[in-house]
Structure 1
Amino acid sequence: MSVTVRIPTILRSHTAGAAEVTASGATVAEVLESLEGRFPGIRERVTEEDGEIRRFMNVYVGDDDIRFADGVRTAVAPGAVMSVIPAVAGGQETALLPRR
């Protein structure tokens, strides 16, 4: 059975613009492998060479951040939603600085 993977805007060039795609796999690593088979090049944007998630990317299965579960070995149930979300830097700290 497949899972739904939500793709961030920055990676949609790999999915022909699709915001959501389906993939198969029982773990996050297997789902990423399935995505790579359909959309070559997407995995290297999400993972390091050792297969772990890049530090500036966040992956959720449902509402759970996989960093606080089993990482790429986190189980993904059939029908689940997996979200890939790039980390956001900057923000309010810089907005509070005086302009020069």
Structure 2
Amino acid sequence: MVKVTIWGSLRSATDGQVEVEVDARNFKELLDRLATEYPGLKPQIERGVSLALDGKIYREAWFTEIGPKSEVVLMPYMTGG
């Protein structure tokens, strides 16, 4: 199981939960399971989200592996430059 911190406005889709647990080995599995277990997250996931893994922000890194002790944060898609 992977603990995922839900950031900001995305918490409304997890009934206000700051942290949730899902069974996933990579980002694709994590996003698929989050969309299934928390249907309110699905529209945002489809629009795009950013995931931070151990302090590094990723977007569309589908098969990046996640370890059971990894720090994972789900955020609305981050833009900027």
Q: TM-score range, shorter-chain basis?
A: 0.7 to 0.9
The equivalent residue for 2:65 is: 75
Gaps of 5+ in 1: 49-53, 90-100
- TM-score (norm. length: structure 2): 0.78
- Checking the alignment, whether the CA contact within 8 Å between 1:3 and 1:80 is kept in structure 2 is yes
Q: Larger % of strand: which?
A: 2
- Checking the alignment, whether the CA contact within 8 Å between 1:66 and 1:74 is kept in structure 2 is no
1:35-74 alignment runs, 5 A limit: 35-48=34-47, 54=48, 57-67=49-59, 71-74=61-64
The equivalent residue for 1:13 is: 12
Measured on the aligned residues, the alpha-carbon RMSD in Å equals 2.1
Q: Which amino acid aligns with 2:56?
A: D
Q: Percent identity?
A: 24
The equivalent residue for 1:34 is: 33
The equivalent residue for 1:98 is: none
How far is the alpha carbon of 1:88 from its aligned partner? 6.7
The higher radius of gyration belongs to 1
Structure 1: distance between partners of 2:33 and 2:3? 12
Report how many residues are paired.
79
SS in 2 for 1:41: helix
How far is the alpha carbon of 1:29 from its aligned partner? 0.8
- Checking the alignment, whether the CA contact within 8 Å between 1:25 and 1:34 is kept in structure 2 is yes
- TM-score (norm. length: structure 1): 0.66
Distance 1:19 1:88, change over 3 A: farther
Gaps of 5+ in 2: none
Q: Which amino acid aligns with 1:23?
A: V
